[in-house]
Amino acid sequence: MSSINIKSVDWFGRAQNFFPGGVNSPVRAFKAVGGVPPVLAKGEGPYVHDIDGNRYLDFVGSWGPLIAGHAHPDVVEAAIKAIRSGSSFGAPTPAELELAELIKKAIPAMELLRFVSSGTEATMSALRLARGFTGREKIIKFAGCYHGHADLLLAQAGSGVATLGLPDSPGVPRAVTQDTIVLPFNDLTAVEEVFARQGREIAALIVEPIAGNMGMVMPQAGYLAGLRRLTEQAEVVLIFDEVMTGFRVARGSAQALFGITPDLTCLGKVIGGGFPCAAFGGRREIMQKLAPLGPVYQAGTLSGNPVAMAAGAATLRLLEQDAAYKKLNQHSQHLTEGLARLSKKYSLPLQVAQAGGMLGMFFAPRPVQNYDDARTSDTKRYARFFHEMLNRGFYFAPSQFEAAFVSLAHTSSQIDETLAAAGEVLALLASAAE
Ligand code: PLP
């Protein structure tokens, strides 16, 4: 660690006395890449600044929400205006309707929706609702997909085939995950087999339509359509967890990109413009089972918070212009194509993927289709790449198994600068490999 980060090192040392591992969410602690995280003091457009005075071009964007960049004037104005009128009421407000209209316009499958405060709440509530609606208990998720930290979702496949989920984390009772079936992503046959055996016991199938939490993995051609067909036949509720991909890969989200209509959709991140806000919604007949219309209980003191609603609406308005997604696509394509070119030049195996303002790279020998493939990545090489880029002023996610994000604030010349730095770093990695 260079001396220029002395304040961050000191701060992070003190933080150990307050927070487990010095952080309030685990990946922030840099365990996967080593070292001490820069402690961030300020965000400005595409940049973040740490307390030591270093500036980084940011490809994390608070893990996805900041599609407009940091402190976009429209978002700041909207939030300030809202807070001047009161920060929370726990009662209906006009702002809820404004954000809901913007969401429904882009994602018509969300016939009715409910706002919550985090992606975890959205997926957890959607699954409770699906169970309440179908009267069935089992759910299917895919290895390497992350849907937040609710107990029932902290389960992973052991052998990559249909198994009863085992608790992934101490503290999760076996009884809670025994109805969670974990299957490999991009493998329709695995789903078919489970449905043939126990389709009528399954309440819901939840999937990240473009996986972003094992690194970025695109669905194979026909995979999502296959999931739609199978769930429809078995009357299983199909849930697209678009907490990451929602308004990120396209205005209509991944479901518009692939032309698939799920029964329920979960959103988060972008729709709150950097404030705690998420949502779940979908078919009216399912959503009507939710209290107070129906018997499935779900509630939240801060749900539909007016400051988050206002910031979210300001963000979605920026995304209404067609040019927005053109720009996001151009920048992330420019970056992934540049990285692919450089990896060829230096004979380093690198797999890249891109959709809208989301991109991914794996230091893996073969194209990545699922979690097992993702785990063939050279995580040490990624750690070296990450630190060399950070030292040059480029802030990527501190883990091989995360996506990268570009914002409307990034410029083409900043992507060129990133590729110039990546060229130096990949040359270093290639020489280290010799
Ligand atoms: N679902 C997906 C696809 C996510 O990427 C995340 C968070 O990264 C979540 C759910 C959980 O969201 P939150 O961290 O807001 O609880």
**Residue 279 structure tokens:** 């949502």
Distance 346 CA to ligand 1 centre (A): 35
Crossing angle of helices 188-198 and 223-234, in 10° steps, is 10
Rounded to 5 degrees, what angle do the CA atoms 141, 359, 429 make? 110
pLDDT band at 322 (very low <50, low <70, confident <90, very high): confident
Q: Which residues is 264 bridged to in the sheet?
A: 239, 282
pLDDT at 72 exceeding the cut of 70: yes
> In angstroms, rounded to a whole number, what is the distance separating the alpha carbons of residues 20 and 22?
5
Lowest-confidence range among 18-32, 245-259, 326-340?
Answer: 18-32
pLDDT band at 354 (very low <50, low <70, confident <90, very high): very high
Distance 196 CA to ligand 1 centre (A): 30
Residue where the block lists tokens 């043939």: 196
**Checking DSSP bridges between strand 237-241 and strand 202-207, what pairing results, if any?**
parallel
Q: Is 241 a catalytic residue?
A: yes
Residue 213 near ligand 1, beta carbon < 6 Å: yes
Are 272 and 260 in contact by the 8 Å Cβ rule? The answer is no
Distance 296 CA to ligand 1 centre (A): 22
Residue 248 near ligand 1, beta carbon < 6 Å: no
Which ligand 1 atom sits closest to the C-alpha of 25?
14
- The share of the chain scoring above pLDDT 70, in percent, equals 96
Distance 244 CA to ligand 1 centre (A): 7
pLDDT band at 308 (very low <50, low <70, confident <90, very high): very high
Distance 41 CA to ligand 1 centre (A): 24
How confident is the model over 43-65, as a mean pLDDT? Answer: 98
Residue 354 near ligand 1, beta carbon < 6 Å: no
Residue 208 near ligand 1, beta carbon < 6 Å: yes
- Taken in order 198, 210, 372, 122, is the CA torsion positive or negative? negative
> In angstroms, rounded to a whole number, what is the distance separating the alpha carbons of residues 105 and 24?
35
User: For the CA atoms of the chain, what is the radius of gyration?
Assistant: 21
pLDDT at 100 exceeding the cut of 60: yes
Distance 213 CA to ligand 1 centre (A): 9
Q: For residue 38, what is the DSSP state?
A: P
pLDDT at 160: 30
Q: Which residues is 115 bridged to in the sheet?
A: 279
pLDDT at 3 exceeding the cut of 60: no
How confident is the model over 316-334, as a mean pLDDT? Answer: 96
> In angstroms, rounded to a whole number, what is the distance separating the alpha carbons of residues 226 and 107?
21
How confident is the model over 216-239, as a mean pLDDT? Answer: 98
Task: Report the chain's terminal Cα–Cα distance, integer Å.
Answer: 25
pLDDT at 290 exceeding the cut of 70: yes
**Residue 52 structure tokens:** 């030591």
- Mean residue pLDDT across the chain: 94
- Taken in order 296, 154, 266, 201, is the CA torsion positive or negative? negative
Residue 147 near ligand 1, beta carbon < 6 Å: yes
Residue 241 near ligand 1, beta carbon < 6 Å: yes
Tens digits of residue pLDDT in 240-279: 999 999 999 999 999 999 999 999 999 999 999 999 999 9
Question: What is the best residue among 25, 115, 116, 120 to mutate for testing ligand 1's pocket, by most ligand atoms within 8 Å of CB?
Answer: 120
pLDDT at 1: 43
Q: Is 371 a catalytic residue?
A: no
CA distances from 388 to 2, 92, 216, 235, 332 (A): 12, 49, 21, 50, 20
pLDDT at 159 exceeding the cut of 60: no
Lowest-confidence range among 72-76, 100-104, 399-403?
Answer: 399-403
Helix (H) / strand (E) element for 130: namely helix 119-134
Distance 267 CA to ligand 1 centre (A): 9
Q: Is 346 a catalytic residue?
A: no
How confident is the model over 84-105, as a mean pLDDT? Answer: 98
Distance 146 CA to ligand 1 centre (A): 7
Ordered alpha helix ranges (H), 297-411:
306-318, 322-345, 371-374, 379-391
| Burial class for 231, CB neighbours closer than 10 Å (0-12, 13-18, 19+) | buried
Residue 414 near ligand 1, beta carbon < 6 Å: no
pLDDT band at 379 (very low <50, low <70, confident <90, very high): very high
Helix (H) / strand (E) element for 355: namely strand 351-355
> In angstroms, rounded to a whole number, what is the distance separating the alpha carbons of residues 316 and 325?
12
Residue 120 near ligand 1, beta carbon < 6 Å: yes
pLDDT band at 158 (very low <50, low <70, confident <90, very high): very low
Residue 265 near ligand 1, beta carbon < 6 Å: no
**DSSP code per residue over 111-125:** SEEEEESSHHHHHHH
| Burial class for 330, CB neighbours closer than 10 Å (0-12, 13-18, 19+) | middle
Residue 206 near ligand 1, beta carbon < 6 Å: no
Q: Which of 269, 325, 382, 395 is catalytic?
A: 269
pLDDT at 155: 76
Residue 242 near ligand 1, beta carbon < 6 Å: no
Q: Which of 47, 146, 223, 371 is catalytic?
A: 146
Which ligand 1 atom sits closest to the C-alpha of 241?
3
pLDDT at 4: 67
Rounded to 5 degrees, what angle do the CA atoms 141, 147, 152 make? 65
> In angstroms, rounded to a whole number, what is the distance separating the alpha carbons of residues 137 and 143?
19
